[in-house]
Amino acid sequence: MPFALSEMSYMSDAPLDRVRVLLGVSGGIAAYKAAELVRRLRDAGAEVRVAMTANATHFVGVATFQALSGNPVRTSLWDESAEAAMGHIELARWADEVLIAPASADLLARIAHGHADDLLSTLVLATTAPVSVAPAMNQQMWANPATQANIAQLRERQVRVFGPAVGNQACGETGAGRLPEAQELVAALVAARGPRPLDGLRVLVSAGPTFEDIDPVRFIGNRSSGKMGFAVAAAAVQAGASVRLISGPVALPTPAAVQRIDVRSARQMRDAVIAAAGSHDIFISAAAVGDYRPRAVATSKLKKSGKPLALELVQNPDILAEVAALPEHPFLVGFAAETDDLERYARDKLERKGLDMIAANRVGEALGFECGENALLLLWPGGREELAMADKNVLAKSLIERVAARHAAVHAKTSKA
């Protein structure tokens, strides 16, 4: 088999895998701990961008955060070149999570009252992402009723409050007001995000076309680019799964934390899928597997003869049907690529192949194959749902949510029985 494994990338333990964290750093001695926090967030898989208040820059230099985050650091609303690269509203939209650590008493007061008089407070007002604050200040300032009222108001608005920790303070006093350790803040953020729908599950995905060789230089292929299947693999990782991706020949980078196995023909794909099926909980078959292959592959390049050339084709194995026939098989999600009568043919495939779910798409000129967008009709025994035309990455996320929900429902039923 012409494939290579990379177990290291497969078993990723990245609870914040590709989560975009906007880290706000406000002025306080604990700002130095935010440098370590950037490291720990990245270790957990997050992509980090840092926005500092002007006061924070008195404690830690911009260059430190720039080097640790690998991204430009923002400090002002009025930095024209930074605004041109990524405007503050764009940055607010970019974030999946806003975490402010340390959050000074002043910053808490300003965001509690909806101020937008500097970059960080403006970002907090403009974002739709969940906001978490990790207060750090002198213990009297923390205990002050004004700070407590601000915190209560923020909590009421669903702002998460991490800490403060209790202990010795830089000012020489002891009490509540310390910034929790970086690892504790990462754990708090992971916990606050809640469990992901595919946590602990192994998902096998097939993607792309298969190539069936005719001779050393020619083959029968199809127009699948692999985009849909690769997007499904990436979305499954984001949902918490360990993902193995079996791909036909495509020109796409491997999504982060995915173990990829490259194959060429339908029979190679079949062998790779069957070898993996028993150790996976869910199999999503997005590959456009060639139904036929030449009976024989010529060892030398076929020459023109001036006469018509007849190729005898034989049928390839139906991989999905073979997996469905295994005595213990994973939860099965097929795709159906149809030019006509989408729902009827897809439901027929769902039933005939014994699938748990099928994602049907219309294919044709600039439809389904190759392009960046797609629409899916999801069918399962007794149900249907249409997912409207969208970018394949967005669509894959919705598909994975539905797959996780159906898998959980079927699993709950079988464990009760």
When binding is defined by CB under 6 A, the residue of 132, 285, 324, 332 that contacts ligand PMT is 285
- Number of CB atoms found within 10 A of residue 104's CB: 24
Instruction: Give the chain's length.
Output: 417
Q: Is residue 291 at the binding interface for ligand PMT, with CB under 6 A as the rule?
A: yes
When binding is defined by CB under 6 A, the residue of 122, 169, 361, 393 that contacts ligand PMT is 361
Q: Is residue 402 at the binding interface for ligand PMT, with CB under 6 A as the rule?
A: no
Looking at the Cβ atoms of 104 and 316, the one nearer to ligand PMT is: 316
Q: Is residue 224 at the binding interface for ligand PMT, with CB under 6 A as the rule?
A: yes
When binding is defined by CB under 6 A, the residue of 135, 226, 240, 255 that contacts ligand PMT is 226
- Region at 275 (left for phi over 0; alpha for psi -120 to 50; beta for the rest): alpha
Whole-angstrom Cα distance, residue 85 to residue 306? Answer: 60
Looking at the Cβ atoms of 94 and 345, the one nearer to ligand PMT is: 345
Stretch that binds ligand PMT, among 6-14, 152-160, 174-182, 311-319 (CB under 6 A): 311-319
Stretch that binds ligand PMT, among 10-18, 116-124, 142-150, 316-324 (CB under 6 A): 316-324
Q: Is residue 363 at the binding interface for ligand PMT, with CB under 6 A as the rule?
A: yes
Q: Residue 270 Cβ, how far from ligand PMT at the closest point, in Å?
A: 8
Q: Is residue 225 at the binding interface for ligand PMT, with CB under 6 A as the rule?
A: yes
Looking at the Cβ atoms of 135 and 226, the one nearer to ligand PMT is: 226
Q: How many CA atoms lie within 13 A of 38 on its CB side?
A: 24
Q: Is residue 277 at the binding interface for ligand PMT, with CB under 6 A as the rule?
A: no
Nearest 10 degrees: Cα torsion 65, 70, 71, 73: 10
SS3 260: strand
When binding is defined by CB under 6 A, the residue of 129, 368, 397, 404 that contacts ligand PMT is 368
CA distances from 72 to 25, 58, 67, 79, 85 (A): 14, 18, 9, 12, 10
Q: For residue 275, what are the contacts with CB-CB under 8 A and spacing of at least 6?
A: none
Cis peptide leading into residue 164 (ω within 30°): yes
Q: Is residue 337 at the binding interface for ligand PMT, with CB under 6 A as the rule?
A: yes
Whole-angstrom Cα distance, residue 316 to residue 269? Answer: 11
Looking at the Cβ atoms of 163 and 226, the one nearer to ligand PMT is: 226
Stretch that binds ligand PMT, among 54-62, 75-83, 183-191, 284-292 (CB under 6 A): 284-292
Whole-angstrom Cα distance, residue 258 to residue 319? Answer: 21
Task: Quote the strand ranges of 268-324, DSSP E.
Answer: 282-285, 292-294, 313-315
In 3D space, the residue among 243, 239, 252 whose CA is nearest the CA of residue 206 turns out to be 243
Strand partners, 285: 206, 334
Whole-angstrom Cα distance, residue 245 to residue 205? Answer: 5
Stretch that binds ligand PMT, among 82-90, 166-174, 364-372, 394-402 (CB under 6 A): 364-372
Q: Is residue 370 at the binding interface for ligand PMT, with CB under 6 A as the rule?
A: yes
Q: Residue 390 Cβ, how far from ligand PMT at the closest point, in Å?
A: 13
Tell me whether residue 171 is one of the annotated catalytic residues: yes
* 85, 171, 192, 412: the active-site residue: 171
Q: Do residues 14 and 90 lie in contact, with contact meaning Cβ atoms separated by under 8 Å? A: no
CA distance between the termini of the chain: 40
Whole-angstrom Cα distance, residue 284 to residue 407? Answer: 12
Whole-angstrom Cα distance, residue 36 to residue 64? Answer: 10
When binding is defined by CB under 6 A, the residue of 95, 228, 258, 396 that contacts ligand PMT is 228
Looking at the Cβ atoms of 372 and 383, the one nearer to ligand PMT is: 372
Looking at the Cβ atoms of 202 and 349, the one nearer to ligand PMT is: 349
Q: Is residue 369 at the binding interface for ligand PMT, with CB under 6 A as the rule?
A: yes
Stretch that binds ligand PMT, among 98-106, 152-160, 233-241, 361-369 (CB under 6 A): 361-369
Q: Residue 324 Cβ, how far from ligand PMT at the closest point, in Å?
A: 10
When binding is defined by CB under 6 A, the residue of 121, 127, 238, 316 that contacts ligand PMT is 316
Structure tokens at 276: 């993996």
Evaluated on CA atoms 115, 120, 126, 130, the torsion sign reads negative
Segment 240-269, which members bind ligand PMT (CB under 6 A)? 266
Whole-angstrom Cα distance, residue 263 to residue 271? Answer: 10
Catalytically annotated residues: 171
What does the binding site for ligand PMT look like in residue numbers (CB under 6 A)? Answer: 208, 224-229, 266, 285-289, 291, 316, 318-320, 334-337, 349, 361, 363, 368-370
